[in-house]
Amino acid sequence: VPLGVGLGFANRYRDENKVSLTYFGDGASNQGQVFEAMNMAQLWKLPVIFIIENNQYAMGTSVKRSHSDTHLYRRGAAFGIPGMEVDGMDVLAVREAGRQAVEHARNGEGPYVLEMKTYRYRGHSMSDPAKYRTREEVDDVREHNDPIKRCEKRLSDNGFKDEEKLKEIDKEIKAIVKEAADFALESPEPEPKELYTDILASAQ
């Protein structure tokens, strides 16, 4: 989050009309550095959008057990930063909220907080069996609130009935993702000097 605010400062300093989109999870939203960064962003009216991906569980603790205020879009309220809770499982809701937040930041009104209410089906990492929730809970979200299924239903309800076309799109997307994953796995490790790329400037 502090790095995202730094990018927002650079955008303002260079007068580039860009907006920094800074993503972090519900667990990270409790860290002190987040509040320090929010304070600075609002103080200097930086074009930063704080996007909290609230998937209901941090490493393994539910939001209800680890947050005194479970409405995370209010995280910036102490600094006067406006916020909005968004259904992160609805692509159109996300697009509209993003548009409003970007417009706010670009107009020089300072930062904005978006709480994206979402869900992760698997554990936090490969070593996380996710036994802190029931299989029934996960299955219920998959069945009734999956973003891809909701998008497909919306297309169908609005007259798009070409199942074969949807399968073709799905196949194309899977191929793109597989190609990217294979490229990452097969690429050599970067040279140590790359650690300094875009980080260090030598003074003359």
| 75 catalytic residue (yes or no) | no
Residue type, 147: P
Pairing of strands 20-25, 83-87: unpaired
| b/e per residue 54-67 (b: at least 16 CB within 10 A) | bbbbbeeeebeeeb
Query: Of 23, 119, 120, 133, which one is the catalytic site residue?
Result: 120
Q: Which two tokens stand for residue 10?
A: 């650079």
CB-CB contact of 56 with 63 (8 Å): yes
Query: Of 74, 119, 132, 133, which one is the catalytic site residue?
Result: 132
Cα(66)–Cα(68) distance, rounded to whole angstroms? 7
Cα(29)–Cα(71) distance, rounded to whole angstroms? 11
| 120 catalytic residue (yes or no) | yes
Cα(81)–Cα(101) distance, rounded to whole angstroms? 11
| 121 catalytic residue (yes or no) | no
Strand intervals (E) in the chain:
20-25, 48-54, 83-87, 112-117
Minimal CA–CA distance to 98: which of 109, 107, 86? 86
Query: Of 23, 74, 119, 124, which one is the catalytic site residue?
Result: 124
Whose tokens are 């199942």? That residue is: 163
Residues marked active site are found at: 120, 124, 132
